[in-house]
Amino acid sequence: MNDTTNHTLKLFNSLTRELEPFTPVHEGEARVYTCGPTVYNYQHIGNMRAYIFADLLGRTLSATGLKLTHIINITDVGHLTSDADVGDDKMEKAAASSGKSAWDIAKYYTDAYWWDIERLNIRQPAKWSIATDHVEEMIDFAKGIADKHCYELESGLYFDTSTVPDYGRLAGTQSDDVEGRIETVEGKRHPQDFAIWRKTPAGETRQMEWDSPWGKGAPGWHLECSQMSMKYLGETFDIHTGGIDHREIHHPNEIAQNQAHNCSEHSGANIWMHNNFLIDRAGKMSKSSGDFLRLQVLIDKGIHPLAYRLMCLQAHYRSELEFTWDNLVAALTRLKRMIIGVENLKTRLEKTDASAANDREHPKVTELRDQLWAAMADDLNSAKAIPLLEELLGLKKINAHQRFELLKEMDAIFGLQLETLTRENLRVKPEQVAISEEEIERQLDLRQQAKAEKDFAAADAIRDELTAQGVELMDGDPLRWEWSISI
């Protein structure tokens, strides 16, 4: 941590299941790898929780003064419909059912994902590493470990998990459930062994296939992340992140490959961090469940994407988070209140003499900064840190310059764009409502005028007309949000 705080950053390491102090591999730096999307479809808002978490981690590391190198990969080949070794490649399957090429599908959904990243104010990583750009290097990686750690079957090159120490330590005791999910491939030496190269079956042609010493085929999904993380971050780097489902198969397999490649017991990353799931009433949000919620659905209902970001930050990343529309609207309301607080603070700032910026820092501001860092250093406890921001906004009598500076420090971590977001941005604007905002505002002006002229019948008529169009007026709304549209 930098000198603004006395708190040592502690992060929960899934590997040891303990909170551990963060000590960078390279002094003054933090190197982080995040498992990115498989781009055969849109990401749902549950997936986006994984990147909001990784962004919170990255922002916190940057705020402590470390130079951050963050890599997020794009899986555009190799991820099967099952996390084990059976089923089709998700990309090929999507191509077959849509009639588009696998390459076009990858491009389309990568762009859609990047658009969501931007709208959630997730910072750009140092690099988006795209799996298909690295296949030759993946083949080299596989060649390097093939003799000692792999065996060939008709369907591909398999990793023998008994050749590395402590396989599956990350997953903990493998429950029957997990064992059950590892479907068997004929000839596998152990149920947990996995394909690092998958051969194109004889007589078939895949859209995405490459020549290799083991025949035409494609890299395994786990191989991709091992190769790309080491290429960009080094054989031993600081933190590897992903959703909690990766703790069971994907990350244990990456670790096994890293150990084999580095001829070491070390897992490759010092700390493995996993965000818990976004769930809904039906359970874990997933793409296989037919209709799934993506950010655009929230936006179409008129909800600003940063309300979803705030909803995620309100929960600790290791807790399950239930999605309901009520929770989302509550987060939006909370964000609106914050924006009003920031607007008031800005007004005060304009009226305050600039020389006040040099006053000794008010002890309450110092205390809030300390509490912020205490919360964030405690395994990124944003749920505890967010109310501090609200407390800061409420300190009306304290030097506006100092409050504004701390607000900026806080928002550098939360990423809620509090300095620039306006009330106008946060208005609920569902797509299906025909009436334009300009028209609503015009009607409101007319109503205001009618009231001023004591023509209450006319004022009521305007209200009724707006109600009929789905616009509800909120006279006396404590948030001074004069109207809303039900979603």
Return residues touching ligand AMP (CB under 6 A). Answer: 35, 37-38, 43, 46-47, 49-50, 242-243, 245-246, 275, 277-278, 284-286
Residue in 429, 420, 437 with CA at minimum distance from that of residue 343: 420
- In the complex, the smallest distance separating the C-beta of residue 243 from ligand AMP, rounded to whole angstroms, is 2
Q: Which is nearer to Zn ion, 64 or 258 (CB)?
A: 258
Q: Which is nearer to ligand AMP, 137 or 245 (CB)?
A: 245
Question: How far is Cα 202 from Cα 321, in angstroms, rounded to an integer?
Answer: 45
Q: Which is nearer to Zn ion, 58 or 341 (CB)?
A: 58
Q: Which is nearer to ligand AMP, 264 or 327 (CB)?
A: 327
- In the complex, the smallest distance separating the C-beta of residue 233 from Zn ion, rounded to whole angstroms, is 13
Question: How far is Cα 380 from Cα 60, in angstroms, rounded to an integer?
Answer: 8
Residue nearest to ligand AMP (CB): 243
Cβ(284)–Cβ(35) under 8 Å?
no
Per partner kind, with CB cut-offs from 5 to 8 A, the member of Zn ion, ligand AMP, none near residue 47 is ligand AMP
Per partner kind, with CB cut-offs from 5 to 8 A, the member of ligand AMP, Zn ion, none near residue 245 is ligand AMP
Per partner kind, with CB cut-offs from 5 to 8 A, the member of ligand AMP, Zn ion, none near residue 54 is none
Cβ(30)–Cβ(239) under 8 Å?
yes
Tokens of 57: 């981690």
Q: Which is nearer to Zn ion, 35 or 48 (CB)?
A: 35
Per partner kind, with CB cut-offs from 5 to 8 A, the member of ligand AMP, Zn ion, none near residue 49 is ligand AMP
Of the candidate spans 119-127, 209-217, 222-230, 326-334, the one that interacts with Zn ion by CB under 5 A turns out to be: 222-230
| CA distances (Å), origin 348, targets 138, 336, 366, 404 | 57, 19, 20, 10
Tokens of 365: 């501001």
Per partner kind, with CB cut-offs from 5 to 8 A, the member of Zn ion, ligand AMP, none near residue 278 is ligand AMP
Cβ(229)–Cβ(253) under 8 Å?
no
Which residue is it, tokens 């149920």? 191
Question: How far is Cα 486 from Cα 284, in angstroms, rounded to an integer?
Answer: 27
- In the complex, the smallest distance separating the C-beta of residue 50 from Zn ion, rounded to whole angstroms, is 11
Q: Which DSSP state fits 38?
A: B
Contacting residue, 225, 368, 400, 428, with Zn ion by CB under 5 A: 225
- Cβ neighbours of residue 59 under 8 Å, at least 6 residues apart? 123, 412, 413, 414, 415
Contacting residue, 9, 11, 35, 94, with Zn ion by CB under 5 A: 35
- In the complex, the smallest distance separating the C-beta of residue 78 from ligand AMP, rounded to whole angstroms, is 11
Query: What angle is formed at CA 316 by the lines to CA 21 and CA 241, rounded to 5 degrees?
Result: 60
Rounded to 5, what percent of the chain is helix, strand, coil? 45, 15, 35
Q: Which is nearer to Zn ion, 45 or 225 (CB)?
A: 225
- In the complex, the smallest distance separating the C-beta of residue 246 from Zn ion, rounded to whole angstroms, is 7
Binding string, residues 391-430; x marks residues near Zn ion by CB under 5 A: ----------------------------------------
- In the complex, the smallest distance separating the C-beta of residue 51 from ligand AMP, rounded to whole angstroms, is 8
Question: How far is Cα 432 from Cα 300, in angstroms, rounded to an integer?
Answer: 8
- Cβ neighbours of residue 139 under 8 Å, at least 6 residues apart? 197, 210, 212, 213, 219
Tokens of 7: 């708190």
Q: Which is nearer to ligand AMP, 50 or 368 (CB)?
A: 50
Q: Which is nearer to Zn ion, 39 or 389 (CB)?
A: 39
* Amino acid identity for residue 344 in this structure: N
Of the candidate spans 49-57, 120-128, 224-232, 455-463, the one that interacts with Zn ion by CB under 5 A turns out to be: 224-232
- In the complex, the smallest distance separating the C-beta of residue 235 from ligand AMP, rounded to whole angstroms, is 23
- In the complex, the smallest distance separating the C-beta of residue 35 from ligand AMP, rounded to whole angstroms, is 5
- Cα 220 to its chain centre, rounded Å, is 24
Give phi and psi for 59, each to the nearest 5: -65, -40
Region of 166 (left: φ > 0; alpha: ψ -120 to 50; beta: rest) is: left
Q: Which is nearer to ligand AMP, 279 or 444 (CB)?
A: 279
Cβ(365)–Cβ(345) under 8 Å?
no
Q: Which is nearer to Zn ion, 77 or 485 (CB)?
A: 77
Q: Which is nearer to Zn ion, 222 or 403 (CB)?
A: 222
Per partner kind, with CB cut-offs from 5 to 8 A, the member of ligand AMP, Zn ion, none near residue 38 is ligand AMP
Residue in 253, 271, 292, 289 with CA at minimum distance from that of residue 48: 292
Per partner kind, with CB cut-offs from 5 to 8 A, the member of ligand AMP, Zn ion, none near residue 225 is Zn ion
Per partner kind, with CB cut-offs from 5 to 8 A, the member of ligand AMP, Zn ion, none near residue 46 is ligand AMP
Residues that bind Zn ion (CB under 5 A): 35, 225
